[in-house]
């Protein structure tokens, strides 16, 4: 049985390495110039986030969008009709079963030394812009972006306590979320949502 | 030195040190005289941050700014037509811990010239890298050009 013990101890020694990698992630910086460069996934994201509607009524599209966001549980925080802009947020739990299972497995493998922080809470933001596509404004484009900020709970790496409240932020890239939104919007305005 | 005397010495030394420290804390930090004076570096940064385009429609220009920021993955936080002001932020993905904020103002210089000024901040530090602004204005030009191009196509 001694060899099993040895393997478990070895794995236990390996666990702090990913923990250190996670911690050191806070120090690494992205070059700001890269963040302002047009990357190859720009057209892909635009296609996912944008639909075209054959209507001259930008105002109705905007208010219908606000209503759909409300249906989805968002609170509209900012609206500017002159530039066709809406911003809405909602806060929800971010707990996932998968993360708890992973946390347990890591805890067992590291022999109680590493307790991974799990996601607890999230804030989802939606920024929506309507704009006319031609001078006569008979066609309108709706572009919406969903983003989320996630807050983690506390954890433990060996002797080091990981305090709660660590956060990370990301753009939501699941096309289904966007499809659902546009399906609801086209139903609300009785218009077909054309892909661009 | 017997024990009580030593203790007194240590206590008085401690008190003295605390006094010196607290006195030091009372002195307000002197603001330098030229804190708000324009410097040459500021003028240089301003010219980096400003660009003019031949445009007539102010509203379309503001919408162009919004479209370009959306293309770059920014979340629009505020957009005001009357002030010509757009504020947006994004996360420095793939690094999820840092935030980049940008404010763009649009001003009509003459009837057919529009001036754009952008300020970008990385976390709490102003970005002074010219490359950043070059990239932003390239994206803006593209958005303005695309929205203009889509006009004759109808």
Q: Which tens digit of pLDDT belongs to each residue from B120-154?
A: 999 888 898 899 999 999 999 988 876 554 443 33
- How confident is residue A157, by pLDDT bands cut at 50, 70 and 90? confident
Tell me the mean pLDDT in the region A13-38.
57
B135 contact A CB<8A: yes
Question: In the CATH scheme, what is the homologous superfamily, with its name and number, of domain B53-148?
Answer: Kinase associated domain 1, KA1 (3.30.310.80)
C-beta atoms of B81 and A169 within 8 A: no
Give the span between the Cα atoms of B101 and B121, in whole angstroms: 5
CA distances from B97 to A39, A167, B52 (A): 21, 7, 34
B11 or B48, which is more confident? B48
Chain A closest-CA separation from residue B40 CA (Å): 23
Are the C-beta atoms of B108 and B114 separated by less than 8 Å?
yes
Does A171 sit within 8 Å of B91, measured CB to CB? yes
Q: Return the higher-pLDDT residue of A2 and B28.
A: B28
Q: Do B154 and A138 touch (CB under 8 A)?
A: yes
Task: Give B75's pLDDT tier (boundaries 50, 70, 90).
Answer: very high
Share of chain A above pLDDT 90, in %: 45
Angle between helices A2-14 and A97-109 (to 10 degrees): 120
What's B153's DSSP letter?
A: T
HSE toward the beta carbon, residue B121, CA cutoff 13 A: 10
**Residue A48 pLDDT class (50, 70, 90 cuts):** very high
Roughly how many angstroms between the first and final C-alpha of chain A, as a whole number? 64
pTM of the full structure:
0.73
Q: Nearest-CA distance from B101 to chain A in Å?
A: 11
In whole angstroms, give the CA distance from residue A178 to residue A89: 15
Residues of B in contact with A135 (CB under 8 A): 151, 154
pLDDT, tens only, B79-132: 999 999 999 998 887 777 788 999 999 999 998 899 999 999 998 888 988 999
Judged against a pLDDT cut of 50, whether residue A15 lies above it is answered with no
* Per-residue pLDDT at A135: 80
How would residue B12 be classed by pLDDT, with cut points 50, 70 and 90? confident
Quickly state the pLDDT bin for A73 (edges 50, 70, 90).
very high
Q: Which residues pair with A124 in a beta bridge?
A: A90, A148
Given B77, B91, B97, which is nearest A87 (Cβ)? B77
| B18 has a pLDDT exceeding 70 | no
Q: Which of B62, B76, B120 sits opposite A127 (nearest CB)?
A: B76
Q: Which residues of B touch A36 (CB under 8 A)?
A: 72, 120, 132-133, 135-136, 139
Lowest mean pLDDT among A2-16, B50-64, B92-106: A2-16
Residues of A (169-188) whose Cβ lies below 8 Å from B: 169-171
Task: Tell whether A77 is within 8 A of chain B (Cβ).
Answer: no
Q: How high does pLDDT run on average in chain B?
A: 82
Mean predicted confidence (pLDDT) in A164-176: 87
Interface of A with B in 139-168 (CB under 8 A): 139, 143, 145, 147, 167-168
Reply yes or no on whether the pLDDT at A36 is more than 80. yes
Can you give the pLDDT at residue B74?
A: 92
pLDDT in tens, A97-139: 999 999 999 999 988 888 889 998 999 999 999 998 888 878 9
**pLDDT computed for residue A25 by the predictor:** 44
pLDDT at A50 over 90: yes
């Amino acid at each position: 049985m001694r060899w099993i013990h040895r393997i478990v101890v070895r794995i236990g020694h390996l666990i702090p390495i990913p923990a250190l990698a996670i911690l050191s992630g806070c120090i690494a910086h992205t070059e700001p110039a890269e963040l302002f460069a047009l990357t190859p996934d720009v057209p892909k994201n635009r296609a996912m986030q944008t639909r075209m509607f054959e209507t001259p009524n930008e105002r109705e599209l905007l208010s219908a969008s606000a209503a759909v966001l409300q249906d989805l549980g968002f609170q509209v925080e900012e609206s500017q009709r002159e530039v066709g802009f809406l911003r809405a947020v909602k806060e929800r739990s971010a707990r996932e079963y998968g993360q708890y299972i992973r946390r347990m497995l890591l805890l067992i493998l590291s022999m109680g030394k590493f307790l991974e922080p799990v996601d607890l809470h999230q804030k989802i933001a939606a920024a929506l812009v309507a704009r006319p596509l031609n001078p006569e404004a008979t066609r309108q484009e709706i572009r919406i972006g969903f983003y989320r900020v996630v807050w983690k709970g506390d954890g433990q790496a060996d002797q080091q306590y990981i305090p709660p409240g660590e956060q990370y932020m990301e753009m939501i890239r699941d096309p289904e979320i966007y499809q659902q939104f546009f399906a609801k919007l086209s139903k609300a305005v009785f218009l077909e949502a054309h892909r661009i | 030195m017997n024990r009580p005397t030593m203790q007194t010495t240590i206590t008085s030394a401690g008190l003295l040190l605390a006094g010196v420290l607290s006195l030091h804390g009372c002195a307000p930090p002197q603001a330098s005289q030229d804190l708000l004076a324009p410097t040459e570096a500021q003028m240089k940064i301003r010219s980096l941050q400003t660009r003019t385009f031949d445009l007539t429609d102010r509203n379309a220009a503001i919408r162009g700014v919004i479209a370009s920021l959306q293309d770059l993955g920014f979340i629009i936080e505020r957009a005001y037509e009357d002030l010509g002001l757009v504020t947006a932020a994004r996360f420095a993905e793939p690094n999820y811990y840092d935030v980049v904020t940008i404010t763009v103002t649009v001003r009509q210089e003459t009837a057919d010239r529009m001036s754009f000024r952008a300020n970008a901040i990385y976390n709490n530090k102003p970005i002074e890298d010219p490359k950043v602004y070059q990239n932003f204005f390239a994206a803006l030009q593209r958005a303005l050009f695309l929205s203009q191009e889509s006009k004759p196509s109808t």
